[in-house]
Amino acid sequence: MLYEIARSVLFKMQPETAHNVIMSNIDWASACGLTRLVSGAVVSDPVKVMGLTFPNTIGLAAGMDKTASHVTAFGKLGFGHIEVGTITPRPQEGNPKPRCWRLIPAQGVVNWMGFNNCGVEQAKINLRSADEFRRNGGILGINIGKQNSSPLSNALQDYCFCLDNLYDAADYFAIDISCPNTPELTKLQGCSELNGLVSGLAERRKMLADKFGRYVPMTVKISPDLDDDAVRSAADVFVQYGMDAVTATNTTTSRKGVEHLPAAANKGGLSGRPLFERSTAVVKVLAEHLKGELPIIASGGVMSAEDAVTKMESGASLVQLYTGFIYKGPALINDAAAAIRDWHA
C-alpha cells in the first residue's frame, strides 16, 4: 500500500522526472531504513551462475542505475544482483527529451533514452557505491555499450575501452548489442559483425584476466526482434568464443498489442507486460538450442512472481526486473525471489 501511494504521486510526473526523484532520494531513504518498509524481508536462495554465487535469482536490469551511483541502496531492497549502466567510454546526454513514456493500461514503457550516462571515468568513481553491496555477497554487473557517435567499425574499440577501464570493478560484464535507441547498434547482432566483435571481446578478456589474475564473466544481451534462426545463430557464436551467458532480452521495437495506445507511437524500445510473451519465447528458443551449454539471464516483462517462475520454467537461470519494478514496486523483488525459491524446492 505504501508503494501504491508513492506510485500515485510519481505517475503524475513525467517518467524521467519521476526517475530522477527516485535516484535523488534512494540513498538517504535506504540509509534510514525507509526503503525496507516497502520491500519486505530479503530472500536467500543462493544459485551459482557463470561461476559466481548469486544470493538469489532476482536482479535489477540495466537502465535503472545508469551512472552506477546507487548500487548498495538498490541492493538493500533484496536484489541478488544489480546491473548498472549502460556505460559508454565517454559521457553522453543521450537522445533529445522527451524520451520516455508510460503505457499505463498495458503496463508498459517506451524509452528512447539513448545510453545517457556519465562515461567510464566517472563510473569508476561512482562504483564506490557498490562496495557494501559486494561485501555482503551481492553481484555487480556492468553493462557496456558503444558510444552513439562512434561508427559501427569502432564498436569493438569502444567495448574494449570499457573492459580495460572497468575490469577490476565488475563481477560480470553485460555486452549490450541490442538496444534499439543507439544508431546502428543492433546491426552488431548480424553474422557479418557478430563474429568479429565477440571474438575480439574474448581476446581482450583473456589479456585482462592474465593482467589482473582474475577471470570476469561476460553475458551478451540480445534483442527480442531477432527471428528464431538468428537467435540460434547468435547463441552458437557465443558458445564458440567462450561467452559465459546470454541475456534475453532487450526492449522491442514491436508495438504488437498496444497499437491503439497513443504513447505507443513514440520512437524507442518497448518494455513491460507487452514484451513478456516474445521475450519468454526467446528464452525457450535459447534453452532448447543451447541444451545447458550457456546459462540464460531472462529480462523482459516480469510483472509478477508468477512471471518470474515462468521465465525459470522456460530455461532461465536468473531473472531481471525493470518495468515490473516501476509498476509493482520493491515488494515484487522478494515476492519473485521467494516464488522461485519455492519452485526450486
d(CA 168, CA 189): 27
For residue 59, the model assigns a pLDDT of: 98
**What's the pLDDT tens digit per position in 297-321?**
999 999 999 999 999 999 999 999 9
Assigned CATH for 2-344: 3.20.20.70
Mean pLDDT for 123-150 is: 96
Cβ partners under 8 Å of residue 197, min gap 6? 155, 156, 159, 177, 188
For residue 306, the model assigns a pLDDT of: 98
For residue 33, the model assigns a pLDDT of: 80
Asked whether residue 3 carries a pLDDT value surpassing 90, the answer given is no
d(CA 253, CA 277): 14
Share of the chain above pLDDT 70, in %: 100
- Grid cell in block for residue 188: 552488431
Q: Which of 84, 81, 88, 85 has its CA nearest to residue 50?
A: 81
Q: Please, which pLDDT band fits residue 36 given cuts at 50, 70 and 90? A: confident
Residues in the chain: 345
Parse the chain into domains and list their residue ranges: 2-344
Asked whether residue 46 carries a pLDDT value surpassing 90, the answer given is yes
Helix (H) or strand (E) holding 221: strand 218-222
Share of the chain above pLDDT 90, in %: 92
Asked whether residue 335 carries a pLDDT value surpassing 80, the answer given is yes
Burial class from Cβ neighbours inside 10 Å (0-12, 13-18, 19+) for residue 159 reads buried
pTM for the full model? 0.97
Output the CA–CA distances (angstroms, integers) from residue 164 to 126, 168, 217, 300, 333, in the order listed: 17, 9, 14, 29, 32
For residue 191, the model assigns a pLDDT of: 87
Asked whether residue 231 carries a pLDDT value surpassing 80, the answer given is yes
**What's the pLDDT tens digit per position in 83-132?**
999 999 999 999 999 999 999 999 999 999 999 999 999 999 999 989 99
Report CA 212 to chain centroid distance, whole Å.
Answer: 26
Q: How high is the mean pLDDT of the chain?
A: 96
**What's the pLDDT tens digit per position in 173-213?**
999 999 999 999 999 999 889 999 999 999 999 999 999 99
For residue 129, the model assigns a pLDDT of: 87
